[in-house]
Amino acid sequence: MLFTDHLLHTIELQSPPQRIISLVPSQSELLWDLGLKDRLAGITKFCIHPRDMYESIPRVGGTKTLNIAKIRALKPDLIIGNKEENERSQIEVLQKEFKVWMSDIYDLEDALTTITAIGELTDTKEEAERMAGKIRSSFSALPFLEKRVLYLIWKPYMAAGRGTFIGNMLEKTGLKNVIVAEDSRYPQLSIEEIKALDPELIFLSSEPFPFKPMHADELQQQLPGTKVVLVDGELFSWYGSRLLRSVAYFHELIKQLA
């Protein structure tokens, strides 16, 4: 069968893949939750959930620092990656030797499409469709919190803009991202620029930079009129099966901040 990925690259699979390497944490967790643990041949060092997977499946480097030699040694019949999380040059090398399927995700609909597409790729279509349906249903009951928010992912300060998956998750909860430029996906900001944006809330993500209470205290002193909150970055940015947990977390967060 022929499968075309989000970057319009087509691969042909003669049968369901039996040796899959996943290059993205959220998609690795998805494959495990689709019941494919015996067909996972490799993951990255950042694929930490679930723990059983992290401890039992060979790791092939970081998402942007793949060990091509290890990947070759594992002889995958399918590699699954993501445009934003993996380096284009490394993906192009792999595409010359292996079947590579790439996602490109900006919002919830893209995530749901990816879940079902990976289900088709791996012959787990029914389970993938059930999972996507549960996620879609859970987001339909999400309450709103109409406040202006700045979501920081890195220090020196870098924010998630509107054209990102995180930005879409904020929109789903009714939060207004103070980064409004459509082409400003991950802008770097000085403390003066943050003050000028005048957010009511600042979310400090647990990943990729591991913000801690001391960082929240530091920023709170600089912006006494803004509420600074540490948030679980995985539940805002992982776009696989972890979305099944996101809405319950958003409910509790909204209740805390309302």
- Structural domains of the chain in order of their starting residue, each with its CATH number: 2-138 (3.40.50.1980), 148-257 (3.40.50.1980)
Burial class (CB in 10 A: 0-12, 13-18, 19+), 229: middle
Residue type, 187: P
- Residues 20-57 have pLDDT tens digits of 999 999 999 999 999 999 999 999 999 999 999 999 99
Angle at 232 between CA 82 and CA 145, to 5 degrees: 105
Q: What is the DSSP letter of 38?
A: G
Q: What's the pLDDT score for residue 82?
A: 98
Distance between CA 28 and CA 5 in Å, rounded? 17
Helical (H) or strand (E) element with 89: helix 88-95
- Residues 217-258 have pLDDT tens digits of 999 999 999 999 999 999 999 999 999 999 999 999 999 998
Q: What is the DSSP letter of 151?
A: E
> Is pLDDT above 80 for 8?
yes
Cα atoms in the 13 Å half-sphere on the side-chain side of 237:
22
Nearest to 211 by CA among 168, 155, 258, 255: 155
Q: What pTM did the predictor assign?
A: 0.95
